[in-house]
C-alpha cells in the first residue's frame, strides 16, 4: 500500500460503510428477536451485508470517531520508551554513555508510534498494538514505525480506530529505531515488549486495557507478552505466531533447512547497519553473537543442544499457561509453510484446559491473514489449499475482531462466541469445542494389512539421499471419509547406523491414480519416542517411531483412496547429522491412526460468499 492511498482508502471505506449502514441496522432489528442481546452466531453471518468485493475485510458499520490529527502526515505520535536491563544482557545495558549517564538516550529504549481516535475530552480508550522487527526494514512498505503498516495497521486504523480504539506499532529491540541488540525473542526483547505494554496501559488517555495482534514474528510477540501476566494485557490475537523458537525450526528432532542460519544470522542483520557507526557496538550481546552457534549445534544434536537455557528462554507457552489471565484468539493456516500449524494445535486445547478463554480460526490458507482473497488464491496449489478456495476467505474477520476487542478491551457489548472454527481441505467450515475434537472415532490401520496394503515393489529399505519410498495404500472408500486433528503413525524401524530419519507423506488419490498432498510428518529417529525425549541409538537396534502428523483436516471423497509413502526426508527438511539407512517393519506394531470426524454431530456453516474478482474467476 502506498502512502498516498491511506487517506483515499479511509474515504472509500466511509462511503461503503454509509451505504451498508441502513441494511445493517435493518438486519439487526430483524435478528434481535432471534438472537436477543447475543452476537449474531457464526452460522448466520452469511446473511449479514458484508462487503465481499474488496481485497480484505471491513467492519459492518463505520465507527463514529475520526482519526486525531497530529503534526505529521500519518497523524501518528512517535515516542521512545526507556526500560531497564541487567548488565548481563550487554549491549545498551553496558554502553559507557549509558552507564556513566553521559547520554541516557544510549540506555535501552523502545521505539513506539501510536494513533488515537478523536474522542470527547475525558474519554479513555483501549489500545490495540502490533510488535515486531519489520518497522523500518528497507525492503518493506513501512520504512518507519510512524507509518501505518500496509499489511495490518492501515486496516485497523480504518476499521477499528473509529470505534474508539487507539492503535500502536512497536519495534522490538535492535530493529527500527529501538536500540540494543536484536535479541530474537529472548529476554531483552521480552523486557522491551513488557515495558511498552506498561507504558500504553498507563497513559492518561488510555483506559488501561491493551490487546496485541500480529502475524508471523509479529504474531509471536503476543505470546512473549502474555508470559508476564501483566495486568494491562487483556487479550492477544497471534496470527501464525510461535509458542517457542526451537519449535519453529525442529519437529521431533527433524531440522528445517533454514534452522542452522535463520536465527541471528538473518534477523541479526536487522540490528546491524552500515550507517549506524558506533551504535553497532550495542549489538555486543551474548545471545546475538552466539545465536548462529546455538542454531548450528541445534542441528547437529537434533535440537538437543548443550546450552539448553537459550531455548528455554525462548519457549513461551509454559509461562503463558502459568501467568496469563487474559483471552486468546489464535488464527492459523493448515498449509502454513513458514509457521507450521503445531503452533496452534494442540495449543488451543492446552489453553482451554487451563481455563483461559480462547478460540481458534483455522482455514486452508498458508502463511497469511484469513481475509486476503488475492494472496490466498496466488499461494494455493492442488493439495495445498486450492480445493478450499474461495470458501477459505473470511470477509467477516474484521467484524469478528471488532466484536472481540470491544468485549475484552472496552469491556462492553455481549461476549463473543468462543467457537473453534475449522475448515477442511474441501472448503467445509464447522464449529468445534476442542481441536483435536474429543468425540472423534479412532481408525487404526496396520501397515501391510488389507486396510493399508504394502506395495511390495517399493521394498522396505529407506536409503538416505536416494528418492526411494516404502508405499502403502488403502482400498477405495465406498463412502466419504472425514478425519482431522493430529493423525499418528507408529512404525517399527530397524537401524543400520547410529541414526536416521523418517518422512511420511499422506495423499488423496482418485480413480485415475492422480494424488494430492493432504498431510505429512517428519522425525529424527533420535526422538523416536516423540516430543523432546532424546535417545542415543546403536546399529541393529529396532525402535518404534511414534510419529505425529502436522495438523490437518481432510475430506476423502467416495471412490478415492489414501496413499502413505515413507522416505527419509521431505518438504524443506535436512537429513540428520548422523543419518543412515533404515528398514521399515511391517507388523502389528506399525499402525496408522486416523481420527474420524463425528460429522453428523457438527454445526456446519458457510461464511459470507466471496465476490472479489479473483473469486469470480474460479
| pLDDT tens per residue across span 386-444 | 999 999 999 999 999 999 999 999 999 899 989 899 999 999 999 999 999 999 999 99
Distance CA(401)–CA(385), nearest Å, equals 24
Distance CA(197)–CA(172), nearest Å, equals 12
Instruction: Please determine, for residue 304, whether its predicted confidence score (pLDDT) is greater than 70.
Output: no
Give me the percent of the chain exceeding a pLDDT of 90.
70
Q: What is the mean pLDDT of the chain?
A: 88
Q: How confident is the model at residue 576 (pLDDT cuts 50, 70, 90)?
A: confident
Pairing mode, strands 250-251 and 327-333: unpaired
pLDDT of residue 6: 40
Number of C-alpha atoms within 13 angstroms, CB side, residue 100? 4
Distance CA(154)–CA(163), nearest Å, equals 15
More confident residue, 307 or 424: 424
pTM for this structure? 0.91
pLDDT of residue 266: 61
Inter-CA distances, 485 with 101, 216, 365, 544, 563, Å: 56, 22, 16, 22, 18
Distance CA(424)–CA(167), nearest Å, equals 34
| Domain assignments of the chain as residue spans, ordered by start | 441-597
Instruction: Please determine, for residue 577, whether its predicted confidence score (pLDDT) is greater than 80.
Output: no
Pairing mode, strands 488-495 and 542-548: antiparallel
pLDDT of residue 7: 37
pLDDT of residue 20: 37
Q: How confident is the model at residue 315 (pLDDT cuts 50, 70, 90)?
A: very high
Cβ contact 482:554 at 8 Å: yes
pLDDT of residue 466: 87
**∠ CA(308), CA(571), CA(556), 5° rounding?**
115
List CB contacts of 284: < 8 A, sequence separation 6 or more: 90, 91, 94, 181
List CB contacts of 549: < 8 A, sequence separation 6 or more: 486, 487, 488, 489, 504, 506, 519, 520, 521
pLDDT of residue 29: 41
Instruction: Please determine, for residue 34, whether its predicted confidence score (pLDDT) is greater than 60.
Output: no
Instruction: Please determine, for residue 4, whether its predicted confidence score (pLDDT) is greater than 60.
Output: no
pLDDT of residue 413: 87
What is the mean predicted confidence (pLDDT) over 144-158? 94
What is the mean predicted confidence (pLDDT) over 587-594? 97
What is the mean predicted confidence (pLDDT) over 534-544? 92
What is the mean predicted confidence (pLDDT) over 184-195? 96
Instruction: Please determine, for residue 360, whether its predicted confidence score (pLDDT) is greater than 70.
Output: yes
Q: What are phi and psi of 292, to 5 degrees?
A: -60, -35
Distance CA(376)–CA(384), nearest Å, equals 10
More confident residue, 330 or 32: 330
pLDDT of residue 220: 97
pLDDT of residue 141: 58
**Strand locations in 526-576, DSSP E?**
542-548, 552-556, 561-567
Least-confidence region, from 138-147, 229-238, 444-453, 496-505? 138-147
| pLDDT tens per residue across span 451-490 | 999 999 999 999 998 888 999 999 999 999 999 999 999 9
Cβ contact 554:597 at 8 Å: no
What is the mean predicted confidence (pLDDT) over 118-138? 92
B/e letters for 145-163, b = 16+ CB within 10 Å, e = fewer, are bbbbbbbbbbbbbbbbbbb
Instruction: Please determine, for residue 301, whether its predicted confidence score (pLDDT) is greater than 90.
Output: no
CATH topology classification for 441-597: Jelly Rolls (2.60.120)
pLDDT of residue 428: 98
| pLDDT tens per residue across span 368-379 | 999 999 999 999
CB atoms within 10 A of CB 338: 15
More confident residue, 26 or 601: 601
Instruction: Please determine, for residue 150, whether its predicted confidence score (pLDDT) is greater than 50.
Output: yes
Instruction: Please determine, for residue 36, whether its predicted confidence score (pLDDT) is greater than 70.
Output: no
pLDDT of residue 394: 97
Distance CA(152)–CA(142), nearest Å, equals 11
Which uninterrupted H or E stretch holds 113? strand 109-115
191 alpha carbon, distance to own chain's centre:
22
Amino acid at each position: 500500500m502506498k502512502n498516498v492511498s491511506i487517506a483515499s482508502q479511509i474515504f472509500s471505506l466511509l462511503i461503503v460503510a454509509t451505504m451498508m449502514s441502513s441494511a445493517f441496522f435493518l438486519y439487526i432489528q430483524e435478528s434481535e428477536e432471534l438472537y436477543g442481546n447475543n452476537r449474531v452466531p457464526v452460522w448466520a453471518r452469511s446473511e449479514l451485508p458484508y462487503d465481499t468485493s474488496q481485497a480484505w475485510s471491513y467492519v459492518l458499520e463505520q465507527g463514529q470517531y475520526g482519526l486525531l490529527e497530529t503534526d505529521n502526515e500519518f497523524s501518528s505520535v512517535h515516542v521512545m520508551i526507556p526500560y531497564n536491563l541487567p548488565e548481563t544482557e550487554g549491549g545498551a545495558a553496558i554502553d559507557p554513555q549509558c552507564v556513566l549517564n553521559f547520554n541516557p538516550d544510549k540506555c535501552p529504549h523502545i521505539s513506539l508510534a501510536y494513533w488515537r481516535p478523536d474522542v470527547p475530552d475525558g474519554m479513555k480508550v483501549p489500545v490495540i498494538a502490533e510488535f515486531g522487527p519489520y518497522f523500518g526494514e528497507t525492503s518493506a512498505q513501512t520504512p518507519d514505525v510512524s507509518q501505518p503498516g500496509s499489511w495490518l495497521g492501515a486496516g485497523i486504523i480504518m476499521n477499528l480506530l473509529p470505534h474508539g480504539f487507539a492503535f500502536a506499532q512497536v519495534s522490538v529491540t535492535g530493529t527500527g529505531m529501538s536500540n540494543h541488540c536484536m535479541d530474537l525473542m529472548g529476554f531483552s526483547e521480552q523486557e522491551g515488549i513488557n515495558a511498552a505494554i506498561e507504558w500504553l496501559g498507563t497513559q492518561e488517555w488510555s483506559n488501561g486495557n491493551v490487546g496485541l495482534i500480529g502475524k508471523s514474528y509479529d504474531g509471536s510477540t503476543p505470546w512473549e507478552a502474555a508470559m508476564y501476566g501483566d495486568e494491562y494485557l487483556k487479550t492477544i490475537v497471534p496470527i501464525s505466531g510461535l509458542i517457542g523458537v526451537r519449535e519453529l525450526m525442529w519437529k521431533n528432532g527433524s531440522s528445517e533447512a533454514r534452522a542452522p542460519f535463520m536465527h541471528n544470522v538473518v534477523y541479526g542483520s536487522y540490528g546491524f547497519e552500515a550507517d549506524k557507526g558506533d551504535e553497532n557496538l550495542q549489538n555486543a550481546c551474548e545471545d546475538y553473537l552466539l545465536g548462529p552457534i546455538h542454531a548450528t549445534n541445534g542441528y547437529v544434536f537434533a535440537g538437543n543442544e548443550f546450552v539448553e537455557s537459550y531455548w528455554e528462554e525462548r519457549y513461551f507457552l509454559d509461562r503463558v499457561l502459568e501467568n496469563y489471565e487474559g483471552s486468546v484468539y489464535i488464527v492459523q493456516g493448515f498449509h502454513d509453510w513458514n509457521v507450521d500449524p503445531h503452533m496452534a494445535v494442540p495449543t488451543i486445547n492446552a489453553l482451554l484446559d487451563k481455563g483461559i478463554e480462547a478460540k481458534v480460526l483455522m482455514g486452508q490458507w498458508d502463511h497469511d491473514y484469513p481475509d486476503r482473497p488475492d494472496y490466498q488464491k496466488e499461494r494455493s496449489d492442488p493439495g495445498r489449499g486450492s480445493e478450499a478456495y474461495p470458501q477459505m476467505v473470511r470477509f467477516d474477520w474484521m467484524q469478528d475482531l471488532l466484536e472481540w476487542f470491544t468485549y475484552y478491551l472496552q469491556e462492553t457489548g455481549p461476549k463473543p462466541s468462543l467457537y473453534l472454527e475449522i475448515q477442511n481441505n474441501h472448503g467445509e467450515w464447522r464449529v468445534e469445542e476442542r481441536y483435536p475434537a474429543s468425540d472423534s472415532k479412532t481408525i487404526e490401520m496396520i501397515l501391510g494389512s488389507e486396510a493399508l496394503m504394502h506395495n511390495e515393489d517399493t521394498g522396505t529399505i529407506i536409503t538416505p539421499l536416494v528418492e526411494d519410498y516404502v508405499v502403502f495404500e488403502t482400498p477405495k472408500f465406498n463412502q466419504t471419509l472425514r478425519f482431522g486433528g493430529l493423525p499418528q503413525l507408529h512404525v517399527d524401524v530397524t537401524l543400520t547406523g547410529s541414526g536416521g530419519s523418517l518422512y511420511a507423506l499422506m495423499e488423496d488419490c482418485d480413480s485415475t491414480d492422480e494424488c494430492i498432498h493432504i498431510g505429512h510428518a517428519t522425525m529424527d529417529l533420535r526422538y523416536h519416542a516423540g516430543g523432546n525425549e532424546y535417545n542415543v541409538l546403536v546399529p541393529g537396534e529396532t525402535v518404534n517411531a511414534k510419529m505425529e502428523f502436522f495438523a490437518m483436516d481432510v475430506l476423502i471423497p467416495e471412490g478415492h483412496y489414501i496413499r502413505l509413502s515413507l522416505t527419509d526426508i521431505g518438504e524443506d527438511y535436512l537429513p540428520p547429522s548422523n543419518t543412515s539407512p533404515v528398514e521399515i517393519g511391517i507388523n502389528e506394531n506399525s499402525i496408522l491412526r486416523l481420527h474420524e470426524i463425528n460429522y453428523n454431530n457438527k454445526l456446519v456453516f458457510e461464511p459470507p460468499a466471496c465476490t472479489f474478482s479473483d473469486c469470480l474467476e474460479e
